[in-house]
């Protein structure tokens, strides 16, 4: 057989190699086109960078809490209308959605930014620092964009500006989604991406693909971080109520002690992850964050209440942990002659933020062309959660992290998200604008 292959005619060899040559040539042309497009977008992003920074500073100085983003929404809607876009307000209470129609057939690409602030009092000494105060779940609080949502708004507004100016080069439609309440609705309310999806934000027109990003105070400016599959965890809060029998603290034998039972349950819950979950590929967390029971030192109470959270990056592990929490709680309580109930999920539940593998493969050259191959980095998944996952349950989507840490400080020195010290380097937003724009253009070009 080897000899027969060697004796094939030159004509046959040419026929065999020609598609490979054409494929290599086509691949080179695609890469060249991507770089050319990325260069053009980068020039435009540079022109509007000062505007993007100014927008961010405005939103940073005037933050609003979840489901209360009234002025934020007005500002966004006014700007989008100034671009000539079709704008819808009041989506999921305070959300804003705008449509850019190229007038040519093609896919519908959605781009999303979250717009709510947090009940955090800012301590960063900035000329545009937030001085806003409000009421959150009955408490007086400071309000701050302590997670970078102000930058997300500004970056998407920048992408809208560029894409609108390039309308004649687009194929299909772009749906700009400015989402409220990503941080969770106040007690007794609903909100966020889940409500947007229920209200039909991914239809009329039907969305084919969605892109989103999050600035990171720990990742260096100029870098983009990606991962196929689970990149952020599912979150499932839970509540456990343990009921026993009250007695004097001096006579514990007359009691069924719910406090001791709860201690046993907490230790038992820790064995779910440490002894039942294969952690080689997917992390998981079971945390009890609050426990309350009793009124004074010498009374064993009737009841103890615990509240906690479950974080998972794998759907099967998520199911297993849910089942095991119920089993552990009820079995341990029974062994202590107590009764226990589990509410899971407690009040809200976010799916895994899951990046479609095929879409990630397709879009990776765009990340390389936009940020530079050395600046596009695979990242480990995180056990934080994002309700962008509700969009990804319905359509293929990618969620990326963009660097917001100044090169003058280390990752260890960077302030954490959700803290009064949170701060980002505004020069990192330009890459975010470019990424949202280039991902849209590339997908439209490849799928019209």
Q: Catalytic residue positions?
A: 350, 426
Q: Which residues contact 79 (CB under 8 A, 6 or more apart)?
A: 55, 157
96 contacts 112 by C-beta, under 8 angstroms: no
DSSP state of 302: S
Single out the residue of 260, 338, 255 nearest to residue 293, CA to CA. 260
Q: Which residues contact 443 (CB under 8 A, 6 or more apart)?
A: 107, 109, 208, 209, 362, 363
**DSSP for 84-125?**
T-EEEEEETTTEEEEEEE-SS---EEEEEEE---BS------
Sign of CA dihedral 307, 308, 309, 315: negative
Q: Which residues of 254-263 are buried (b: 16+ CB within 10 A; e: fewer)?
A: ebbbbbbbbe
Give phi and psi for 315, each to the nearest 5.
Answer: -60, -40
201, two tokens: 């934000």
Single out the residue of 53, 73, 54, 43 nearest to residue 162, CA to CA. 43
Q: How far apart are CA 21 and CA 13, in angstroms?
A: 12
How many residues belong to the chain? 448
């Amino acid at each position: 057989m080897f000899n027969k292959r060697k004796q094939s005619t030159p004509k046959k060899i040419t026929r065999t190699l020609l598609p490979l040559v054409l494929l290599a040539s086509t691949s080179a042309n695609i890469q060249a086109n991507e770089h050319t497009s990325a260069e053009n977008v980068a020039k435009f992003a540079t022109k509007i960078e000062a505007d993007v920074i100014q927008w961010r500073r405005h939103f940073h100085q005037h933050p609003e809490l979840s489901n209360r983003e009234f002025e934020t929404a007005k500002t966004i809607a006014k700007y989008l209308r100034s671009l000539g876009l079709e704008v819808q307000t009041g989506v999921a209470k305070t959300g804003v959605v705008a449509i850019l129609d190229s007038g040519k057939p093609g896919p519908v690409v959605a781009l999303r930014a979250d717009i709510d602030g947090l009940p955090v009092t800012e301590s960063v000494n900035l000329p545009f620092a937030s001085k806003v105060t409000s009421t959150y779940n009955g408490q007086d609080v400071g309000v701050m964009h302590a997670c970078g949502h102000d930058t997300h708004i500004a970056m998407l507004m920048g992408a809208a500006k560029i894409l609108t100016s390039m309308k004649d080069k687009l194929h299909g439609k772009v749906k700009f989604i400015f989402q409220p309440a990503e941080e969770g609705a106040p007690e007794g309310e609903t909100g966020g991406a889940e409500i947007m999806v229920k209200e039909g934000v991914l239809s009329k027109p039907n969305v084919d693909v969605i892109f989103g990003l999050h600035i990171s105070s720990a990742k260096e400016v100029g870098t983009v971080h990606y991962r196929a599959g689970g990149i952020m965890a599912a979150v499932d809060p839970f509540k456990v109520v343990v009921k026993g029998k009250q007695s004097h603290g001096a006579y514990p034998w007359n009691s069924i002690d719910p406090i001791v039972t709860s201690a046993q349950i907490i230790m038992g819950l820790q064995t779910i992850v440490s002894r039942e979950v294969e952690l080689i590929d997917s992390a998981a967390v079971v945390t009890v964050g609050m426990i309350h029971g009793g009124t004074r030192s010498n009374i064993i109470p009737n009841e103890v209440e615990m509240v906690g959270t479950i974080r998972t990056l794998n759907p099967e592990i998520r199911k297993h942990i849910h089942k095991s929490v119920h089993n552990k709680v009820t079995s341990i309580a029974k062994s202590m002659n107590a009764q226990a109930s589990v509410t899971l999920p407690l009040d809200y539940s976010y799916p895994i933020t899951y990046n479609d593998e095929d879409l990630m493969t397709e879009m990776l050259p765009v990340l390389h062309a936009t940020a530079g191959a050395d600046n596009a980095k695979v990242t480990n998944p995180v056990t934080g959660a994002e309700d962008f996952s509700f969009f990804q349950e319905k359509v293929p989507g990618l969620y990326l992290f963009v660097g917001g840490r100044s090169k003058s400080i280390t990752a260890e020195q960077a302030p954490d998200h959700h803290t009064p010290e949170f701060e980002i380097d505004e020069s990192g937003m330009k890459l975010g604008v470019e990424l949202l724009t280039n991902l849209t253009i590339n997908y439209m070009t490849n799928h019209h």
